[in-house]
A and B are shown apart, each in its own frame.
Chain A
Amino acid sequence: DGGITQSPKYLFRKEGQNVTLSCEQNLNHDAMYWYRQDPGQGLRLIYYSQIVNDFQKGDIAEGYSVSREKKESFPLTVTSAQKNPTAFYLCASSGTGRETQYFGPGTRLLVL
């Protein structure tokens, strides 16, 4: 089946620790996105990538980093510089043109 997978479903971070959230898609989409969701806040854009080996900061990039070495994969690292990382993280992808974005099931990050 084609789709987007995110792992893990739940992730726990200790103080001062970097953690990496995985996002993989087999839809052959060029563009991938990371959004953060907080209660009552809607979705906010962290980073996005329109092509392999290139990515742009979104509205709340501070404390996060990404890489796009393969078309299928767009991992997000939450660094120790992100002081309030507890949130639901959603990865999405889209094809060419003004296309719909398709979302993964999300990763919930909690701080110990």
Chain B
Amino acid sequence: GNSVTQMEGPVTLSEEAFLTINCTYTATGYPSLFWYVQYPGEGLQLLLKATKADDKGSNKGFEATYRKETTSFHLEKGSVQVSDSAVYFCALNRNSGNTPLVFGKGTRLSVIA
């Protein structure tokens, strides 16, 4: 079945450091891939997405590239800020159409000044 594996946290970085959060997936077919962010006590917000191989999603300085050959969708940011402290979830569609997402377990990021 479909599954998502992302690096375990917590990840602690200093402000302005480079961020990578690894995400790999197992899926049949060609799922869309997503990164969501969750701030404390809140719901999930879409950060970025990619719908086909070699697509790059980007938003707020974050980027991720859909790599079919390595079944990966790693999240990167060149210079993190304290305000980026949150939990990040990698996810994929189970099937085409309006179908549920499969989520990784989440990676908690703490950025210290």
Contacts and interface: CB of A to CB of B under 8 A. Distances in A.
Interface of A: 4, 6, 30-31, 33, 35, 40-43, 45, 48, 50, 58, 90, 92, 94-106
Interface of B: 32, 34, 36, 41-46, 49, 51, 89, 93, 96-101, 103-106
A105 B46 contact: no
Contact of A33 (B41, B43, B51, B100): B100
B27 to A, nearest CB: 13
A101 B104 CA distance: 15
A30 B46 contact: no
Given A40-B105, A98-B32, A98-B51, A103 B96 contact: no
Interface SS of chain B: loop
A100 B49 contact: yes
A106 B98 contact: no
B98 A103 contact: no
B97 A42 contact: no
B89 A43 contact: yes
Contact of A43 (B45, B93, B103): B103
B50 to A, nearest CB: 11
A104 to B, nearest CB: 5
A101 B42 contact: no
Given A40-B105, A106-B43, A98 B97 contact: yes
Given A35-B103, A99-B98, A101-B101, 13 more contacts: A31-B99, A42-B89, A42-B103, A43-B103, A90-B44, A97-B96, A97-B98, A98-B93, A98-B96, A98-B97, A103-B36, A103-B43, A106-B41
